[in-house]
Amino acid sequence: MISNLINRKILTLLKVQYSNMLEYRVEIALWAISGIIPFFMLNIWTNNNLNESINISDIELSRYFLCAFFVRQFSVVWVVFSFEEDSLLGKVSPYLIQPLNPFFRYFAQHLAEQITRFPFAIIIAFFFFIFNPESLWIPNLGILLLSIISTFFSFLIQFLIQSIVACLCFWTEKASSIERLLFIPTLFLSGLLAPVVSFPEYIKSWIYLTPFPYMIDFPANLLSGNSTNVSGGISMQILWIVLLFPLFKKIWSEGTKKYTAMGS
Amino acid sequence: MNTRKYLNVYKNFLHTSLASELEYKTNILIDLLTAILSLIGSIFLLSIFFQSNSSIGGWEFKQALIIQGIYTILNGITNTWFNPNLTEIVKHIREGTLDFVLLKPIDSQFFISLKKITPSGFLEIMLGVCLLIYCIKINQIDLNLGFVILSLITIICSIFILYSLWFFISTTTIWFVKTWNATEVLRSFLYIGRFPLNSFSFSLRIFFSVFIPIAFITTIPSEVFLGISQLWKILLEVLVAIVFLFTSRKFWLFALKFYTSASS
């Protein structure tokens, strides 16, 4: 009964957000295009034969960067910006009265956006294969399924981290600058610009303990069929989700207690 | 008489926007930290590229640092002036407040491009200048009047080209209304301005010199710094800057003819 209700709520939310997102197709296409940095990086790597020193062939590297592009497309999170705007404009108040955590709304928004984004990402991949036909490959079903799961976990990790930052809006009003600060290590350490195997030893020794390599590098390696520790990676992803979720619950309940509506 | 009026207005712009930005003091501090981390991150990425190669596209590490320095300065200028102002155009058009701008007895492009200022970008500019001074030392560049004048001219031209690109993209919202992330696409393309143009493949090099003149924005000023730039390249950059500035102005005036206020 209860699960049925939750299901219906989530389905309705998803449907509403999906039709909302479909209205902004051009905008989402532009977002998809703005994620093509990994391809420029690939160009630098292969054009200067930088991959020889880390023992990755050209084809493996191009698959890696294509997968990094895909993983990034389906794990982009912007909840802090939406929440900040809603909380500055006082829109959070009506959401708080509803018998549903407002973050479900944002969650549905992100999922709906990913569905809308899917065709654009496929088109970009299609062009990539036209220019690099030798790197075409078809991952087997098991790997594909596993990498979809790990991409979703990567999205969950980033969604939880950003939701925790978003809750800081209850204290500071402008939490998006904290998110911009956190984005810098995400950009450079997640493997979006360079695969983690190429990092110097003094970074590699501790980076696998942080959540960063599990955001892009691990799912991308998995999907591209490069050698990677599958069970270790997925369990680290689950560990981070399990660690972050109670933290989010805690900060959310503290924050809502502190929340005062506009004009109080 | 006229310039004095504009200077006066600009003084007031500075005063009001600084006053409102300084309301969020911790925000500025966090932004400063972000700028420092971002510079460290890009030098880290560069050091990965140079791990086993002594030069990339004909640039040594210490020479490539000059490009980083110039990129950092230009990025600081973007964050201080272009980003806060030109993303506002979209808001003006969506909410119909562009009417109020057009009705003012002042040039609309002037008002829209210089109204706001984000002080945290200053630190980025300063960081870039420090890096450049360091580069002058390690590359043993001798400072003389000709060098200073030439490098200043090329950097100013880069700023104009960058401004025109931003302004051009923002102006298109008069037709498309909700494409505020078109500037994000530009941002992601500009990202490759951190690397020497020669490190990309031939086709990308052509693309980034003709369609989006990133070559002119960072590579030519860096070549001037190293004293390896030919005179025709500098003259070409000046010409490109003038053409860009002129067309972006014409394009704005042209686009305004299509502006139909919010409810018409």
Pick from A35, A58, A36: which is nearest to A45 by CA?
A58
pLDDT at A5 over 60: yes
Establish if B253 touches chain A: CB-CB under 8 angstroms. Answer: no
User: Is the pLDDT confidence value at B17 over 60?
Assistant: yes
Q: Which residues of B touch A52 (CB under 8 A)?
A: 52
Residue B241 banded pLDDT, cuts 50, 70, 90? very high
In one-letter notation, the amino acid at residue B19 is A
Please, how many CA atoms are within 13 Å of residue A219, restricted to the half-sphere of its CB?
Answer: 32
Q: Mean pLDDT across the stretch A128-142?
A: 88
Q: Which amino acid is at B141?
A: I
- The shortest C-alpha distance from B53 to chain A (Å) reads 7
Burial class (CB in 10 A: 0-12, 13-18, 19+), B218: buried
In-domain check, residue A12? no
Q: Quote the CA–CA distance of B170 and B174 in Å, as a whole number.
A: 8
Average pLDDT of the residues of chain B:
88
- Does B27 reach chain A within 8 Å, measured CB to CB? yes
- Count of structural domains, chain A: 1
What are B84-104's pLDDT values in tens digits? 898 888 888 878 888 888 898
Taking phi over 0 as left and psi of -120 to 50 as alpha, with beta for the rest, B218 belongs to alpha
Rounded-to-integer distance, Cα B255 and Cα B249, Å: 10
* E strands, chain B, in order: 55-56, 59-60
Tens digit of pLDDT for each residue in B109-150? 999 999 999 888 888 999 999 999 999 999 888 888 888 899
Of B17, B164, B194, nearest to B86 by C-alpha is B164
CB of B54 less than 8 A from some CB of A: no
CB of B26 within 8 Å of any CB in chain A?
Answer: yes
Q: Is the pLDDT of residue A262 over 80?
A: no
Q: Is residue A107 part of a domain?
A: no
Q: Which residues of A touch B (CB under 8 A)?
A: 24, 26-27, 30-31, 33-37, 40, 43-44, 47-50, 52-53, 172-174, 177-178, 180-181, 184-185, 187-188, 193-194, 198-200
As a whole number of angstroms, the distance between CA B123 and CA B214 comes to: 23
Does residue A1 have a pLDDT over 60? Answer: no
Helical packing angle, B231-256 and B145-171, nearest 10°: 30
pLDDT score for B34: 92
d(CA A18, CA A24): 10
**The domain containing residue A86 runs over which residues?**
35-100+125-258
Yes or no: say if A161 and A244 are a contact pair by the CB < 8 Å rule.
Answer: yes
Q: For an interface test with A, which of B28, B34, B43, B180 has the most A Cβ atoms less than 10 Å from its Cβ?
A: B34
Given a cut of 70, is residue B178 above it in pLDDT? no
Residue A118 lies in a domain: no
| Interchain CB distance below 8 Å, B41 and A177 | no
Local confidence band at B264 (pLDDT 50, 70, 90 cut-offs): low
Alpha-carbon gap: B38 to the closest alpha carbon of chain A (Å): 6
Q: Which of A23, A26, A36, A48 to mutate to test the interface with B (most CBs of B within 10 A)?
A: A48
- The pLDDT value recorded for residue A233 is 93
Segment A150-178 shows an average pLDDT of: 91
Q: Answer whether residue A7 is part of any domain.
A: no
Sort strands B59-60 and B55-56 into parallel, antiparallel or unpaired.
Answer: antiparallel
Domain ranges of chain B: 2-256
Considering the domain boundaries, does residue A49 fall inside one? yes
Examine residue A94 and state whether it is found in any structural domain, yes or no. Answer: yes
Higher pLDDT, B52 or B63: B63
Q: How many Å apart are CA B158 and CA B229, to the nearest integer?
A: 15
pTM equals 0.90
Section A50-73 average pLDDT:
88
For the cut 60, the answer to whether the pLDDT of residue A237 exceeds it is: yes
| pLDDT at site B68 | 93
- For B18-45, give the DSSP string: HHHHTT-HHHHHHHHHHHHHHHHHHHHH
